[in-house]
Structure formats: structure tokens, C-alpha cells
Structure 1
Amino acid sequence: MKKILSALLFLAMTTGAMAQEKEMNQVEITTFRKEVIAKTKEITSLSTDFIQYKHLSFMSKDIESKGSMLLQIPNKLLWKYSLPFEYSIAFKDNKISINDQGKKNKVDIGNNKKFAKINNLIVGSISGNMFDEKEFKISYFKSGKRSIAKLIPLSKDILQYISQIELYFDEGQSTVSEVKLIEPSADYTRIVFKNRQTNIKLNDSSFSN
């Protein structure tokens, strides 16, 4: 189970700011939160390509992967890696389906609170709907034209794998452009989203892997 949890968390991550970060004041925080929450409420589905960079302290170069992602609110999600190898993971009907280069595995998450939290974390990271102060200690920053939300999980289950989540929002965008998950070891993964489309028509077969 721990191996599967680590694999799931490996999927949900991304990058640091280039410009200097400045902490938002309370008025800016309120405005930012209202705008993001209002826009994400309008999203029913999302399709995007992504590039993932896995940073490991003992390696001189990040490991790069590419793929695509589908999301249907509230609880259907498919990550599909195409390079450097084929790998996909689908969340559907309280089940996780993993296809590792043709080797398939299924996990029932219906009665597993830990898996449920991780599923919510992944969906929330992508949609930007993660401003739950019962689950996270949150701080907000500006960096150039980007807005950043930094979340520290309060759950001990999540803290085993993630010490901080960073969500990056480009100006005028309703969904996150990058997500960064920082592990307790200080290693991290960053995923950059590209070619995003919202509210497209999806059906059950779209989430089969």
C-alpha cells in the first residue's frame, strides 16, 4: 500500500517562482480566493497536457516525463504518461486502476480514508479548489504576474509524503498552471500544465486505462 501511495503522490506535483515573491496582504488574499473559488465552481471537466520534472538531490538533472490528464468533477481523474514510458492511473467509482506498460492493478478506495484524502488532494491541486484551512495551513504570495498558494498539510497521513504543496496561478487563469509537491526529504516534483481545455464533453470510457 505504501508503494501505491508513493506512486500516487508522485503524480501530483510542480515549480518555483522566477521573480521575487511578495506575501499578499489580507485584501489581496480575499480577492484572490474569491476569484479562484468562483471560477473553479464553473468547471465541470478539464483536459490538459503536462510536462513533469522530478527533482532528486542525488541527481544533477531532473527526470522529465510527458503525458496528458483528464478530470471530471467531482471524482473522475486519469493521468496518462506517454514518455519516457507508458503508464496510466485512473480514479473512478471509488477505485484506482493502474496500467504499468500493460500490467494492470486495481485498488478499492471506498473504505480507505488515506486514499480518499490523496484523491481529494490530487483533484484539488489541479482544479485549485484546495483552500480548506481545516486541512492546510495556507500562505499566499505574488511573483510578477503570478499568484502562489503554499499549503502545509495538517494531516499526519499526508505529511508522511508531502511537507508542502505550492499552487501557481497565471494571471487571468481559473486553474493552476503548475503544482509543486515538496517531500519531507526536500526532493520535489513539478508538473507544468499546457494546452488546457475546460468543460469539454467526457464519458466513462474516457477514464478507462
Structure 2
Amino acid sequence: MVNAEKFNILFSVVVLISLFFLIPLNAASDTAGEVSFSDRQKILEKLKKLAKDTHTITAIVTQEKQLSLLKKKIYIDGSVVIIKNPNVFRWDIVKPDKSIIIIEGETMTIYHPDVKEAQVYNLSENPIARNTVNFFRTTLWGSYTEIEKKFSVTILRKNNEIVFQLVPLSKTVGQYLSSILIYYDEGTGFPRGFEMTTPKGGKTVTRLSNIKINPEIKTDTFKLKLPADVWITNNPEHSQCDIK
């Protein structure tokens, strides 16, 4: 798999877990207007407070991907579980193929049980994985000052929604990512979802349902033991890896 494809997969995973509410089908239109400086500060303070009060999240996920190299769209169904402290995440995908994605500590694991394959990333040694996970942590928990260090952020108002438009400042990131649109409900201040586009015309739209804020999470939710015959495809020297 080429580096661009790896970046797209990792970034899709992390952006999904950082934006956990339903995105509307329509994107920001020409009728959307940029908010004033004073309104911008009020919006950021409100979102920061709401993020502070959110500790755990669960939701059902549906994702639609349109990749430039494929004629047909890809549809993904699954569920996510996220805990703020410590920063841990689990995404169980059931369609089109079963897979489990877990981030715990400095490790990201992507496990494909039907084909007995997995990828295990050490975040301290993999800059792409580390940077995308850091983006997740800052975005999800309201560290907007950190976001503005890496993205040009425009805040728009459209009907009863607030739309954040993020454009990467890095030319390297810009090779793989054109922009991210984040939608917030103005009445509640909660994010409703996102749309990610790439320079080659790719687009990923994610919707979530059955959202629960601060539910009780089972202690073994993030325990994953890979079978002994699993092939770690990004580390051929090791045929198995246990996450306990």
C-alpha cells in the first residue's frame, strides 16, 4: 500500500473519532456567511465547555466514501466507543468487511478477523499515525488553539448550523487532504458530523446514530488479543501481537 493510501486510511479513522455526531447531506453553500470575531469567540467558548463535560461516547456509524480510483462508492457500517481519559478508542466495522480498530496509549491496531491480518502502529515511531491521533485528541476535546496551528479555520453560519471549514496549512498534508467541513447544531453546540475531501476528488461523509454521551463503558472493551496465526502485514518479522 502506498504512503498516500496509508495516510488516507489513518486520517479517515482519526477524523471519524474526533467528530461524532450526524452530518447533514448538504455541504456549506454560497449562502453561508462568516461569523463576526465576537461571535467566533462565543462559539469557541461554548464548544470548549461542552467538550469539557463529555467524557465517554458511543454511537452507531455509517460512512460513505467516494475514492477517485473507484467508480462505485464504498459504504461502511459499524459502531464506536471513545473514552477521554485515558485517550482510548474502538471502532467495530461490520460492513463491507469485518474489522476492529483500537487506539490505546501509544498503539493503534487495525485487525481484520476474516482474513487473519492486522496492522499495528507504534505512534511514537510512526509520524503519520502520531500526527493524526494528536489531531483527534485536540479536536475531540476542544483544543481549538492547537487546531489553528495546523489548519486555517473559517467559521460560517448557515441556517441553524455553525460550519467549521478546516484547510491544512502544511503543504505535505495538503497533498492528501483538501479540507474538512465540521457541522455543529447552533442550538445545542454539539458537532453533527463532518465531510472530508481530497485534492483528487475523493470524499468521505460520516453519519452517526444512537449517540450516547457519558455512558458506562465495560472495562474489557479495549482488550484485544490477536490469534497466534494473525499476520502483521506492516511488520512481517512478527506474526502475532497481543494487546491486553
Shorter-chain TM-score: what band?
Answer: 0.7 to 0.9
Q: Is the 8 A contact 1:40 1:129 kept in 2?
A: no
The structure with more radius of gyration: 2
Give the superposition deviation at 1:29.
Answer: 1.2
Matches within 5 A, 1:16-27: 16-17=26-27, 20-27=31-38
Q: Residue type of the partner of 1:197?
A: K
Q: Residue type of the partner of 1:93?
A: G
Tell me what 2:235 maps to: none
Q: Is the 8 A contact 1:153 1:164 kept in 2?
A: yes
Q: Could you list the per-position Cα deviations for residues 50-107 of structure 1 after superposition, in whole angstroms to 9, with x for gaps in the alignment? A: 1101123566653221111111115211122112221221111100111123423322
SS of the residue aligned with 2:154? strand
Tell me the TM-score normalised to structure 2 length: 0.74
How many Å separate the matches in 1 of 2:94 and 2:105?
24
Q: Are 2:149 and 1:147 aligned?
A: no
Q: Is the 8 A contact 1:125 1:167 kept in 2?
A: no
Structure 1 residues 48 and 166, CA, compared in 2 at 3 Å: closer, same or farther? same
Q: Residue type of the partner of 2:152?
A: K
Could you say what the CA RMSD is over the residues aligned between the two structures, in angstroms?
2.6
SS of the residue aligned with 1:184? coil
Matches within 5 A, 1:5-154: 5-11=7-13, 12=15, 16-17=26-27, 20-57=31-68, 62-74=73-85, 75-101=87-113, 102-126=116-140, 129-131=143-145, 132-154=147-169
SS of the residue aligned with 1:133? helix
* Paired residues, number: 209
Q: Is the 8 A contact 1:125 1:179 kept in 2?
A: no
How many Å separate the matches in 2 of 1:41 and 1:110?
26
Identity rate, percent: 20
Give the superposition deviation at 1:157.
Answer: 4.3
Q: What are structure 1's unaligned runs of at least 5 residues?
A: none
Give the superposition deviation at 1:46.
Answer: 1.0
Tell me the TM-score normalised to structure 1 length: 0.85
